[in-house]
Amino acid sequence: MPGPSEPTHHEEHIVSPKLYLVIGATLLIFTGITVGASLIDLPGDLNAVVALAIACIKMTLVVLFFMHVKYSSQLTKLTVAAGFFTFIVLITMTMTDYISRAWGRW
Amino acid sequence: MDSHTVAAQTAETAHAEHEHPAFLRHHFESVEQQRESATFGMWLFLLTEIMFFGGLFCAYLIFRNWYYPAFVAGSHSLHLWAGTLNTTLLIISSFTMAMAVHASETRVRKALIGWMIATIILGSGFLCVKAYEWHDEWVEHHVPGLNFSPQGFLHGTKDYPDDKLSLDMAEKTQVYFSLYFAMTGMHALHMIIGVSLLTILLIQAWGGKYVEGHVAPIENFGLYWHFVDIVWIFLFPLLYLIRRHQ
Amino acid sequence: MSTILTLPDQATARLPKVSYLNKEYGLKSWLLTGDHKRIAMLYFISITFFFFIGGAMAGLIRLELLTPPSDLLAADTYNKVFTAHGIIMVFLFLVPSVPATIGNFLIPIMVGAKDLAFPKINLLSWYLYVAAGTMMISVLAFGGVDTGWTFTTPLSTHYLNTHVISAGIAVFIAGFSSIFTGLNFIVTIHRMRAPGMTWFRLPLFVWSHYAASILMVLGTPVLAITLVLVILERTIGIGVFDPTKGGDPLLFQHLFWFYSHPAVYIMILPGMGVISEVISTFSRKRVFGYTAVAFSSVAIAVFGFFVWAHHMFIMGISNYSALVFSLLTMLVAVPSAIKIFNWSATLYKGSITFETPMLYAFGFIGLFTIGGLTGVFLGSMGMDIHLTETYFIVAHFHFVMVGGMLMAYLSGVHFWWPKITGRMYPEGVSKLAAVITFVGFVLTFFPQFILGYLGMPRRYAAYPPEFQVLNVFSSAGASVLGVGYLLPLLYLTWSLKYGKIAGANPWQATGLEWQIQSPPLTENFVDTPIVTHEAYDYEWLESKKGSEVPTVG
């Protein structure tokens, strides 16, 4: 009798090579786009925003498909989310100090 | 004959492979539990890696804000072709690694070995390009603490004439390069470890392992490899693509 | 005095023929073991060793502080001594104390598994710990490091020529030991629970360790990268913490405290888990508000990540961000307080007896409450500006860590000693040791609150003469405390040979670990347990009283 912590059989899903090829090609295309976009003068900070946004999209594709998270258990998805959350906390809360230092005294 | 030998012999002579395969460890109830646990363990390890690199990204964010012109000039001094090539190599290697996992899942030995070799070659190629770049930085006196000189940043370059910095800001390019070497160095260290581990797995696969239902090591190594790829996916724009437009 | 202790008839009682202790013999069977119980014992021995070295450092500190001038130790030497005390006590004792010993031993049994998910990684974790400890001892032997356990920049990167790098590497290695322990626990708790063992039937000890493990896995790597950067700064001079090169010394502190604040919760949460078990057993009552206590453990872990800059209020961070961190610090005290309330409610109308583990638990509740409340004072920015870097801080963290965590550790060691060894410790002298420890502790550390409030700075070998009386009280207390800690070392060792045979469940406690023989078998259970009862179900325990605990041999 399986215990409550025993996983249900979901890891049997095998991703097809065709999907891998599509994702791989998409990643390469996005690489081209990000280089191209960096060579165009966009207003304000948009260059940096676009570059980071594209990087995030690429990361999402790798995580979901190459790393199988799309087909993984809720636990795996939660774990990945927890990692990102903690990373964001580190960055943003440290930045609260650096951003507001120049605001001057009360 | 102690209990362990008896147990191992029983495992080998089991009829159906899913009854008691040799690679099932005794504290697990089933292969499924073992596989799920191993993958979960690897994900937790990757979380530690996210936080490990996170500290470097945090430092990068702060200093890029403080010394933007220095970061621009520093970024321009990197070879865009090298960074783009490396990104391409790593993305293709992620593809080949995913295919290797697929070969292990579908139990095709030749394919598994082939895809693993491809991944090793692509990963090694990345490291060669990196080594070339680093050598270049050394020659141009861009290595912080060892032979750094801000001289090259006092005048603009052919491609980027506006990269002329004051002496004060030119000296801040050392901070940019500190982060460049720390981040690409840490990444390269992870690549070296990855290629080494993959070589070991390859030798084992050559000996017949990982095509009889024991997918977890290949799968979980794949997770590690993809993670190292993702780190580079962020390093590339952050280090190479700062204000590249003329 | 009444007691719930029920021992088998000593005339006929024997230790079980087969257990994890005698399954295999020889040094190799211990040094290459995968058995979580043996690894726990390996940890227990090494942690005790480092505890007494750290304690010796404390003894030197208190000896020096008997007199105002720096007459016993030169100032530089004094700095090395308190740094050694801090590094050893934090990284080599407090962080691994309960998780690596009691946690390693009990988590698989409490969830109903045969071992942790990754036994080899568990063993690796111990070897990393020993490597880190050995490295630290050699740092001491070669002249020490005097940065304080906090390695603050730019002192550590630019102004000292002591063994900062080696000490940093030692801590780095210890960090990985911690990460692997936490990783193992999380996977085991998620994936290896026995049939019927749902999350809300787990003992609260498991919940606490789960929360602490999350902190270990997510927080420790940031310490690792911080140490790497310090080493790079010292060797190559990369400049990230160097203002002359454009770096920021405060960046070090942000990254360091991002780990080191959650670290204090890594240290205390497992201790809180012990207290939940002990309070319940010695009140014969289920823990009041199980769900609240379980979720408060996780809440402490999550909120613990949001407050780190309260260690940096006077360091030059912006007042606005300091305000945010101060407010969040108030918030993080709430889950801890919830636990204290729930334990008190558990005691209410319970059948309380005062065996040694319970004495330590009472000590914990009183001293941790005081320590925690003073933490709230310090979280308030206005108070902290006056009290930081004084002995008030020293007193605060010793109340929570020594009055809290160390007492919880001793409580747990005594509570599970019969399970781990099969023998009882001597109750009389152990009660005496508990009382001596409590008295010694209060005498040592309460004066330090007053000293801090009066303005005596911390980390100084010499101090103004008006502080001497309180310092003498503190040092006197330290010698009493030393006796209190030495006694268990002696009588616990004695009990290994001469202690009474304990039987499977001398405390009549609930929990899967008490349903198996003492000491347990290597594979823990003869048959996989099937759990049908809730945690702390004393009625279920009553109904089971008839059946024999299966032993082998």
| Residue-wise DSSP of C428-494 | HHHHHHHHHHHHHHHHHHHHHHHHHHHTPBSS-S---GGGHHHHHHHHHHHHHHHHHHHHHHHHHHH
| Residue C298, pLDDT score | 97
Instruction: Write the pLDDT tens digit of every residue in B27-84.
Output: 998 999 999 999 999 999 999 999 999 999 999 999 999 999 999 999 999 999 999 9
> CA dist C59 to A89, C140, C433, C440, Å?
40, 16, 19, 13
Tens of pLDDT, residue by residue over B4-21, are 444 444 444 444 444 678
Q: For residue B44, what are its two tokens?
A: 């937790």
Instruction: Give the structural domain span for C35.
Output: 27-544
- The better pLDDT of the pair C542, C182 is held by C182
Which of B51, B67, B175 lies closest to C218 in CB terms?
B51
Interface confidence, given as ipTM, is 0.93
Q: Using one digit for the tens of pLDDT, what is the confidence trace for C38-93?
A: 999 999 999 999 999 999 999 999 999 999 999 999 999 999 999 999 999 999 99
Residues 202-241 of C with CB under 8 A from A: 214, 218, 222
Strand-pair partners of C521: C524
pLDDT computed for residue A7 by the predictor: 45
What is d(CA C447, CA C449) in angstroms, rounded to the nearest whole number?
Answer: 5
Which residue in chain C is spatially nearest to B148 when comparing CA positions? C238
Of C10, C21, C2, nearest to C419 by C-alpha is C21
Rounded mean pLDDT, C508-523: 93
Which residue of A14, A54, A66 is in closest CB contact with B94? Answer: A66
CATH of the domain at B229: 1.20.120.80
B40 → chain C, closest CA residue:
C187
Question: Is A6 close to B94, i.e. CB distance below 8 A?
Answer: no
Q: Which among B32, B43, B105 is the nearest to A80, CB-wise?
A: B43
* pLDDT mean across residues, chain C: 95
Higher pLDDT, C546 or C145: C145
Q: Residues for chain B: how many in total? A: 246
pLDDT at residue C2, rounded to an integer: 85
A77 CB within 8 Å of a chain B CB: no
Q: How far apart are CA C110 and CA C202, in angstroms?
A: 7
A24-36 per-position pLDDT tens digit: 999 999 999 999 9
Question: Does the pLDDT of residue C17 top 80, yes or no?
Answer: yes
* Residue B65, CA atoms < 13 Å, CB-side half-sphere: 12
**How far is the C-alpha of C94 from the C-alpha of C85, rounded, in Å?**
12
C395, part of any domain:
yes
Coil vs helix vs strand at C501 = strand
Parent domain of B204: 30-240
Structure-token pair, residue B190: 């992870």
pLDDT recorded at residue B8: 44
Give the pLDDT of residue B146.
86
Q: How many domains does the structure of chain B reveal?
A: 1
CB-nearest partner of C320 from A3, A82, A103: A103
pLDDT of residue C68: 96
What pLDDT does residue C350 have? 93
Give the 3-state secondary structure of C296-350: HHHHHHHHHHHCHHHHCCCCCCCHHHHHHHHHHHHHHHHHHHHHHHHHHHHHCCC
Provide the domain count of chain C: 1
Q: How far is A8 from chain B (nearest CA, A)?
A: 9
> pLDDT tens for residues B202-211?
999 999 999 9
Instruction: Answer whether residue C444 shows pLDDT above 70.
Output: yes
Put simply, whether C190 touches A (Cβ < 8 Å) is yes
Q: Scanning every residue of chain B, which has its alpha carbon at the shortest distance from the alpha carbon of A23?
A: B95
Mark residue B20 as left, alpha or beta (left: phi above 0; alpha: psi -120 to 50; beta: remaining): beta
**C7 within domain boundaries:** no
pLDDT at B21: 84
Contact C237 B144 (CB under 8 A): yes
Minimum-distance CB partner of C318 among A5, A75, A97: A97
CB–CB of C37/C119 below 8 Å?
no
Instruction: Name the average pLDDT for chain B.
Output: 90
User: Which residue from B32, B35, B92 is facing A24, i.e. has the nearest CB?
Assistant: B92
Quick check: bond before C519 cis, omega within 30? yes
Considering only A43-47, C300-304, C357-361, which range has the smallest mean pLDDT?
A43-47
Is B25 a member of any domain? no
- Residue C393 and residue C452 in contact, taking contact as beta carbons nearer than 8 Å: yes
Query: Degrees (nearest 5) of the Cα angle C317, C321, C322?
Result: 70
* Residue C5 domain-assigned (yes or no): no
The reported pLDDT for the residue numbered B7 is: 46
Q: For chain A, count helices (H), then strands (E).
A: 3, 0
Helices of type H across C154-203: 164-191
Structure tokens at C325: 């961190």
Cα separations (Å) of C446 from C264, C387, C441?
20, 15, 8
Assess C114–B contact: CB distance below 8 Å, yes or no: yes
| Residue B37 placed within a domain | yes
Flag whether B24 is in a domain. no
pTM for the structure as a whole: 0.94
Question: Would you say residue C324 has pLDDT above 90?
Answer: yes
A26 touching B (Cβ < 8 Å): no
Nearest CA in chain C to B144: C238
Chain C hits for A94, Cβ within 8 Å: 254-255, 258
With b for 16 or more beta-carbon neighbours within 10 A and e for fewer, the C435-466 pattern comes to ebbbebbbbbbbbbbbbbeeebebbbbebeee
Q: Which residues of A touch C530 (CB under 8 A)?
A: 1
Task: Please report, for chain A, the start and end positions of each structural domain, with discontinuous segments joined by +.
Answer: 15-67, 72-99
Q: Chain B residues with CB inside 8 Å of C229's CB?
A: 55, 59, 182
Please write down the long-range contacts of C134-141, taking CB distance under 8 Å and 24 or more positions apart.
C135/C166, C135/C169, C135/C170, C135/C173, C136/C84, C136/C87, C136/C88, C136/C91, C136/C92, C136/C167, C136/C170, C137/C53, C138/C166, C139/C163, C139/C166, C139/C167, C139/C170, C140/C80, C140/C84
Q: What is the CATH number of the domain that holds C493?
A: 1.20.210.10
Nearest to A100 among C197, C250, C320 (CB): C320
Cβ contact, residue pair C197, A100, below 8 Å: no
Which residues in chain B have Cβ-Cβ distances shorter than 8 Å to A91? 54, 57-58, 61
Q: Which of C172, C225, C266 has the highest number of chain B CBs within 10 A, making it the mutation to test binding with B?
A: C225
Sorted by sequence, the CB contacts under 8 Å of residue A82 that are 6+ apart come out as B47, C214, C218
Condensed to tens digits (0 to 9), the pLDDT of residues B176-235 reads 999 999 999 999 999 999 999 999 999 999 999 999 889 999 999 999 999 999 999 999
How far is the C-alpha of A95 from the C-alpha of A82, rounded, in Å?
A: 20
Q: How confident is the model at residue C552 (pLDDT cuts 50, 70, 90)?
A: low
- Judge whether A41 is closer than 8 Å to chain B, CB to CB: yes
pLDDT digit string, tens, across residues C473-512: 999 999 999 999 999 999 999 999 999 999 999 999 999 9
Put simply, the answer to whether A11 touches B35 (Cβ < 8 Å) is yes
- Is B23 part of a structural domain of the chain? no
Residue B21 lies in a domain: no
